[in-house]
Amino acid sequence: MRYRLRVPDSALPRLPDAGIDAVIGWFARSARSLPWREDDATPWGILVSEIMLQQTPVVRVLPRWRQWMAQWPTPADLAEAPTAEVLRAWDRLGYPRRALRLQECARAIVREHAGRVPGTQEELRALPGIGEYTAAAVAAFAFGRRAAVADTNIRRVLVRTIAGEQRPAPSYTARERAMTQATLPDETERSVLWNQAVMELGALVCTARSPQCGLCPVRAHCAWDRAGRPEAPADAPRRTQRFEGTDRQMRGRIMAALRSADQVPVPLLLALDPEDPARVRRCLGTLLADGLAMRDGDLVHLPR
């Protein structure tokens, strides 16, 4: 892929500067006010918000984030908290392993970075629960650095405006990386504004289901709109009922039971699905393996 480096910048697929200006201007007028975007937000608060927002909508994160930051305002606070309390505070945000990793992340920050969130993508990427997207987002939004941020919103906007397609591929492809890199403004301050602005555009206007193209600041530059907004070919239909999905549901039910009591007898958990106690056992086994539950004889409880 080294040959790509010889391609002149002007040939790379990118949104024109006029489009970038339009999106940034729209953001200045239309951005939601979110607490982790306020001036008083700390890098740790921004990091916490990014973890909570992984696969979880903003409206559901808001109340949890406020409570969380009031209870554990610094990495050191979360590092010292009882894990059971952490999991209860996570409540029903989903994917509770994120809560476990967030506490591990806090402990790593205390241990390896003297309690302060590191600012480079490389250091961030090395922390538990922080992947490519979150490392770039924290570097950009918490530290004002130039980073190629590519969440589901940004990917959708770029694929539509530049490639003229309705939705991005399931995985973040090399072609999409090229679009993200080529469009990212060279100047640092402008790159940070662009990342925030295009993400917000994807969340509010260029949405997955019913995009509000009539309100879109880059409609004039949008290849998808120009092409008549063609629909992507439908995915292959689900072969059977999603049976694995029910395992996730059962894990959620077990976690809910554990959050509601100090300890729960195994027979009580098995009663969660009288039709299929083997499934409950299997799910309990994966929760124990994940460190989300502990077993003490016949009693199950959250990790203390």
Partner DNA sequence: AAGTCGGGGCG
Partner DNA sequence: CGCCCAGACTT
Task: Identify which of residues 16 and 85 has a Cβ nearer to DNA in the complex.
Answer: 85
CB of 16 to DNA, least distance (A): 24
Q: What is the DSSP letter of 278?
A: H
Task: Say if CB 199 and CB 153 are below 8 A apart.
Answer: yes
**Does the protein bind DNA through residue 40 (CB under 7 A)?**
no
Instruction: Determine, following the binding rule CB under 7 A, whether residue 286 of this chain makes contact with DNA.
Output: yes
Regarding 34 and contact with DNA (CB under 7 A), the answer is yes
Q: Of these, 10, 33, 210, 260, which contacts DNA (CB under 7 A)?
A: 210
Residue 100: Cβ-neighbour burial (10 angstroms; 0-12, 13-18, 19+): buried
Amino acid residing at 127: L
Span 224-243, contacts to DNA by CB under 7 A: 234-235, 238, 241-242
In which region does residue 240 sit, left (phi positive, over 0), alpha (psi from -120 to 50) or beta (all else)? beta
Please tell me whether residue 106 adopts helix, strand or coil conformation: helix
Evaluated on CA atoms 54, 59, 63, 69, the torsion sign reads positive
DSSP label of 229: -
Helix locations, 144-265, DSSP H: 152-158, 174-183, 188-204, 223-226, 244-259
- Closer by beta carbon to DNA, 14 or else 98: 98
Instruction: Return the structure tokens found at 51.
Output: 């973890």
Q: Which of 55, 67, 71, 188 binds DNA (CB under 7 A)?
A: 55
Contact between 200 and DNA by CB under 7 A: the answer reads: yes
Q: Is 255 in the site for DNA (CB under 7 A)?
A: yes
In sequence order, the β-bridge partners of residue 295 are 300
Helix (H) or strand (E) segment spanning residue 284: helix 277-290
Counting contacts by CB under 7 A, is residue 93 touching DNA?
yes
Under rule CB under 7 A, which residues in 115-154 are in contact with DNA? 128-135, 137, 151-153
Contact segment (CB under 7 A) with DNA among 10-18, 66-74, 167-175, 176-184 equals 167-175
Of the ranges 7-15, 17-25, 249-257, 273-281, which one interacts with DNA (CB under 7 A)?
Answer: 249-257
What residue ranges bind DNA (CB under 7 A)?
34, 36-37, 49-50, 53-58, 60, 92-97, 101, 128-135, 137, 151-153, 156, 167, 170-171, 199-200, 202-203, 207-210, 234-235, 238, 241-242, 244, 247-249, 251-253, 255-256, 286
